[in-house]
Amino acid sequence: MTDLLWLWILLGVVVVVGGGAALLVPRSRKRRGGGSTIAAPTTGDGRVAEPGTAAGPAVEEAAPEAAVEPAAPALETPEPVAGRMVRLRDRLARTGSPLGARLLSVLSRDHLTEDDWDELEETLLLADIGAGPAEELLDALRTRVRVLGVRDPKAVRDLLREELLKVVDPSLDREVATTGPTGADGERLPAVVLVVGVNGTGKTTTVGKLARVLVAEDRSVVLGAADTFRAAAADQLQTWGARVGVETVRSDRDGADPAAVAFDAVRKGRDDGTDVVLVDTAGRLQNKAGLMDELGKITRVITREAPLAEVLLVLDATTGQNGLNQARVFGEVAGVTGIVLTKLDGTARGGIVVAVQRELGVPVKLVGLGEGPDDLAPFDPEQFVDGLLG
């Protein structure tokens, strides 16, 4: 009898332990698969949604394993914008003797001969300042050096600084328009900034950096990846945006209609009450008619939603005369309102600032000072001239 009792007890233990194990195994497997609850949320069209956007479904239940999953990368805080231009002096110094310093060394000679004046002219032309502004600057310097008989190095420097500043023109309005107009029904529309330029000049990078400038100034931003010619350009732009929590409107189809993407971006900006919509374009310079068609269509389509606040032309400061030729074509085709001069850190030819402003009749508004994410600065004529003077 006792044996039978022990047998029943043993059987009971086996059933309880076995059943428990059978329940535990599937549960622990289910937990491992529960990674889906922490998978990156997607937008309606299957793209990865930005953190904190409405498109991202809320995580329903924090599974214990979620705690050991790698956390989403923290959003970056862009550097404050003020004072960025100061870096220019260091960067220019690295490219060799800045233009102003070379001019200064000639102007400081005891008796300026015609050869010295020729040398000054040659220096200005080599720095891409352009023939007209070079002549203007030299005429002013000749007169003032003769009349004032300036010899003391500090006075010569002040004189040169003043005259360089005049040709750079501090009176131009260099503010990038980032306040949208008010629509017919009183609705605040986003400021739409269209960014154009030849590939490789730093357009996509500039849009990314500009988004950071705006985020640093507490403005809300939407990016439009209307450079659909090169698929990687949209990825590049989306990465720039994601780093500072800015959404990118893009097409996942290669060669999609850039105007449609631009339109969607502006519509999203309008629907969301966004301050600024930045639209990157391909702007291939295969021929003027093709470029005109593409940019014309983008502009027409965008302005159905909101007027353009700015058309920024991105130019590579290291390309000299070639850059000016591009500027001319874009100026005719795109109604450029401001210039972004990139790679100013990589050239001793700072005179291009003056030449391109004269060529297009629009101001340089921003300058690229390096490859770092915050190496974009609002152009400040005084600091620029100080940078040239070394």
Burial (Cβ within 10 Å: 0-12, 13-18, ≥19) of residue 241: buried
Q: By C-alpha distance, which of 209, 219, 305, 231 is closest to 262?
A: 305
Smallest gap from Cβ 378 to ligand GTP, in A, equals 14
Number of residues interacting with ligand GTP: please give it, by CB under 6 A: 20
Q: How many C-beta neighbours within 10 Å does residue 324 have?
A: 18
* Cα 196 to Cα 246: distance, rounded to the nearest angstrom: 20
Among 139, 175, 217, 371, binds ligand GTP (CB under 6 A): 371
Q: Which two tokens stand for residue 388?
A: 């040239």
Task: Check binding of 319 to ligand GTP (CB under 6 A).
Answer: no
230, 237 in Cβ contact below 8 A?
A: no
Q: Could you tell me the smallest distance in angstroms from the CB atom of residue 88 to ligand GTP?
A: 11
Is residue 346 involved in binding ligand GTP (CB under 6 A)?
yes
343 lies in the site for ligand GTP, by CB under 6 A: yes
Collapsed DSSP state (helix, strand, coil) of residue 61: coil
For residues 69 and 364, the answer to whether their CB atoms sit within 8 Å is no
Q: Is 274 in the site for ligand GTP (CB under 6 A)?
A: no
Member of 123, 178, 204, 347 binding ligand GTP (CB under 6 A): 204
Residue matched to tokens 């021929």 = 287
| The only residue of 84, 174, 203, 267 in contact with ligand GTP, by rule CB under 6 A | 203
Decide whether 197 or 269 has the Cβ nearer to ligand GTP: 197
Contact between residue 371 and residue 155 where contact means Cβ atoms under 8 Å apart: no
User: Quick one: DSSP state of residue 106?
Assistant: H
Q: Which of 107, 168, 190, 201 binds ligand GTP (CB under 6 A)?
A: 201
Query: At residue 94, what are phi and psi to the nearest 5 degrees?
Result: -70, -20
Residue 199 beta carbon to ligand GTP: minimum distance, rounded to whole angstroms:
4
Of 84, 137, 194, 205, the one binding ligand GTP by CB under 6 A: 205
Please name the residues in contact with 316: beta carbons below 8 A apart, sequence gap of 6 or more.
Answer: 200, 201, 202, 323, 342, 343
Options 98, 180, 190, 202; binder of ligand GTP; rule CB under 6 A: 202
197 in a known ligand binding site: yes
Residue 227 interacts with ligand GTP (CB under 6 A): yes or no: yes
Q: Is residue 345 involved in binding ligand GTP (CB under 6 A)?
A: yes
User: Rounded to an integer, what distance in angstroms lies between the CA atom of residue 286 and that of residue 301?
Assistant: 22
Quick one: which segment of 6-14, 63-71, 249-257, 337-345 binds ligand GTP (CB under 6 A)? Answer: 337-345
Residues near ligand GTP (CB under 6 A) = 197, 199-205, 227, 230, 233, 342-343, 345-346, 368-371, 375
**Binding site for GTP: what residues are annotated?**
197-204, 280-284, 342-345
